[in-house]
Structure 1
Amino acid sequence: MTSPLLSARDLGVDFGLPGGRTARAVDGVNLDVAPGEIVALAGESGCGKTTLARTLLGLERATRGSVSFGDEPLRYSTKALKAYRRKVQLILQDPTGALNPRHTIYDAVAEGLRIHGLVDDETERVADALARAGLRPAEKFFLSYPHELSGGQRQRAVIAGALVLDPSIIIADEPVASLDASVRGEILALLLRLREEMDLGALVITHDLGLAWSIADRIAIMYLGRIVEQGPVEQVLTEPRHPYTRALVSVLPDSPLPKPIVLSGELPDAAKIPGGCRFRPRCQEYASGRASAVSDQCEREDLEVLSADASRHRVACHLHRIERRAAA
């Protein structure tokens, strides 16, 4: 496999709270994105996905661990971050909020070029980015304002604003969540085409496993700050092994599992991570007694921190570990 371009190693992000409490929003994450690879990061709202994305972008500082681009660790000087963000671009889920309503589409796309001092051939660069994003003829949109475009066109304009800097990686946070179903497929097809044309890597943040199935090469499932299962998307979504992943997959329309699995309770507060396995209070295997052989471990030992090995289907679960040993 191609060497990763964007990497997180043992990444942790803590936030101080009133009363001296600490929230562990990200807690021991290893993750890689290679050129031309689309990785989906999935999980419930509040599981740490967006904090992880912000940390990979340099918008949050890691409390522990590191972020690297190529062989270079992420540095937080103004100059270093500026150069880094030219290569690692963000696409937000709400194109309306991402576009200044007072700026024309031309100015919105050209903004990144101006920030980075890339003013030579500005018009040509903007036109090329709009065309690559599917807004053709590009000149037709130069003087348009965001409110004059459809939702899908606005999202294409946001994507063009990222493409104009010729990035190597994009981080897309719920990139089609605000779009009509009829437009979602077009935007996903666009991202797949850009991957092929530009060898563009992408980390797609989503709660929608159907979207992950449609677009991703690999998927990482996140629960309460930690990745609990990861691997090739076909393997993880057709043979889910972690009880949390199984619950998420079980409610898909074409789920490979026989019946829906209902999780008990809500996602715990990141400032009150349960002792032992952090998923145990909601785990259907533990509650039913099917995990009795490892119940002591579930109560005493947290989930292991998975490595970033991209070639394997890996799971952080005490029950799965003992079942795997028995099968061997």
Structure 2
Amino acid sequence: MTTTTGPLLGAEDIHVTFPGRRGRPPARAVDGVDLTVGRGEIVALVGESGCGKTTLARTLLGLVTPTSGRVAFAGRPLEYTARALKAYRRRAQLVLQDPTGSLNPRHTVYDAVAEGLRVHGTPGDERAAVARALSLAGLRPPDRFFLRYPYELSGGQRQRVVIAGALVLQPELLVADEPVASLDASVRGEILALLLRLRDELGLSALVVTHDLGLAWNIADRVAVMYLGRVVEAGPVETVLTEPRHPYTRALLSVLPESPLPATVLSGEPPDPTRVPPGCRFHARCPSLASGAAESSGVASLCRGTPPVRIGDAGVSCHLTQVAPRVAPGA
């Protein structure tokens, strides 16, 4: 469910560099990313651990200040004063991966959900607002859960409480960082269905951070694949996941159950963000170079020495696809 009124959230050429420690060079955690989330849209941000996706998500929420670049919400640049950020965080809420760690074990469900209202000094009927949020999160009847503690709930119920704590402020955007990673498979489906229902019923937008392309297929309207600080492929989920063009995307998809792609096991680990390699930052692990496809297409030297042109909010960043767009990378 998308609209044509422009993106709700926009990031333009975002860089986040962390200073090095003990003489080490700085870490380029996010290195020139463009990303948008439309109104009523779910975008999945996908990549291996350490690729920078959580840092990018926290930057989009104003929890990390970008080294350079611009974040805008509802068409207005994000301001980094305490007052502006507090107002922004009423409209954009974070849902963390571990519901057990997100909830204070000494707080009842009621207090956990009401906390945001109290922090922001929200006027009105607190009890009614908490009940509404719990109902929206699928905890019904809500008053049955008011006086319960986290240890009395299942993992799925705890995650619903965390989501209710975000919903109580009636935000326009949820940023969910691995929201189902710690849950059983059956419960994962319920939480994903909940996010879809919130999108459909409330027009709520969401950025879902995950390492799982299968999850992206089930929930997202668009997907952005991130590797070592950059988005290497982005577009509508049907396009990216049925016709992947970047060799990294193809490798991630190949290991999913029932994938039609030949299984590809990437060698080594992603490079250290303090030592970003020259050229395409994926080239040391790229199946296209290993198979000779890049060499035969005449781009191997570019892969090793020249960074691909930075893409915008859609497309692919790969020398091979740019010179031979109809050749499947790694073929």
Please give the range of the TM-score, normalised by the shorter of the 2 chains: over 0.9
Does 2:271 correspond to 1:268?
yes
Deviation (angstroms), 1:325? 8.2
Does structure 1 retain, via aligned residues, the 8 Å contact 2:92–2:171? Answer: yes
The SS at the match of 1:170 is: strand
TM-score in terms of structure 1 length:
0.96
Which residue in 1 is equivalent to 2:7? Answer: 4
1:20 offset after TM fit, Å?
4.9
Give the letter aligned to residue 89 of structure 1.
Q
Q: Distance in 1 between matches of 2:278 and 2:289?
A: 14
Q: Is the 8 A contact 2:29 2:229 kept in 1?
A: yes
Stretch deviating more after TM superposition (43-52 or 115-124): 115-124
Shift of the alpha carbon at 1:300? 1.9
For 2:94 and 2:309, how far apart are their aligned partners in 1? 30
Q: Which residue of 1 aligns with 2:81?
A: 77
The answer as to whether partners of 2:30 and 2:229 remain within 8 angstroms in 1 is yes
Q: Contact (CA 8 Å) 2:235, 2:313: kept in 1 or not? A: no
CA distance in 1, matches of 2:288, 2:162: 43
Aligned to 1:23: 27
**Amino acid in the other structure paired with 1:324:** P
Q: Distance in 2 between matches of 1:222 and 1:308?
A: 12
Give the Cα–Cα distance (whole angstroms) in 2 for the partners of residues 2 and 297 of structure 1: 39
**Pairing of 1:1-328 with structure 2 (within 5 A):** 1-18=4-21, 19-257=23-261, 259-292=262-295, 293-309=298-314, 314-324=315-325
The unaligned stretches of length 5 or more in structure 1 are none
The CA distance in 2 between the partners of 1:264 and 1:24, in whole Å, is: 22
DSSP-derived class of the 1:51 partner: helix
CA distance in 1, matches of 2:96, 2:301: 43
Q: Distance in 1 between matches of 2:5 and 2:209?
A: 22
Q: Is the 8 A contact 2:234 2:240 kept in 1?
A: yes
Q: Cα distance, 1:111 vs. partner?
A: 0.5
Asked if structure 1 preserves the Cα contact closer than 8 Å seen for 2:177 and 2:209, the reply is yes
Residue identity opposite 1:92 in structure 2: L
Q: 1:187 to 1:24 in 2, by over 3 A?
A: same
Deviation at 1:326, TM superposition (A): 8.9
SS at match of 1:274: coil
RMSD: 1.3
Instruction: Quote how far apart the aligned CAs of 1:268 are.
Output: 0.6
Secondary structure, aligned partner of 2:122: coil
Query: Are the equivalent residues in 2 in contact too, given 1:278–1:303 (CA < 8 A)?
Result: no
Count of residues in correspondence between the two structures:
322
Q: TM-score, normalised by structure 2?
A: 0.95
8 Å contact kept, 1:228–1:303:
no
Whole-angstrom distance in 2 between the partners of 1:26 and 1:160:
30
Please say if residues 24 and 274 of structure 2, whose CA atoms lie closer than 8 Å, have aligned partners that are also in contact: no
Question: Which secondary structure state, in structure 1, belongs to the residue aligned with residue 299 of structure 2?
Answer: helix
Take 1:172 and 1:77, find their aligned partners in 2: how far apart are those partners?
24
Q: Does the CA-based 8 Å contact 1:40-1:216 persist in structure 2? A: yes
Give the AA of the match of 1:173. Answer: D
1:269-327 deviation per Cα after TM superposition (whole angstroms, max 9, x unaligned): 00011011101100111122210111121122113221124xxxx11000000012899
Q: CA deviation at 1:154?
A: 0.4
Tell me the alpha carbon deviations over residues 64-110 of structure 1, each in whole angstroms, 9 at most, x when there is no partner: 10111012111111100000000000000100000111111001000
Instruction: Report if aligned partners of 2:278, 2:304 keep a CA contact under 8 Å in 1.
Output: yes
* Native 8 Å contact 1:10 1:64 kept in 2: yes
Post-superposition, which runs of at least 4 consecutive aligned residues in structure 1 deviate over 3 A? Answer: none
Amino acid at match of 2:325: R
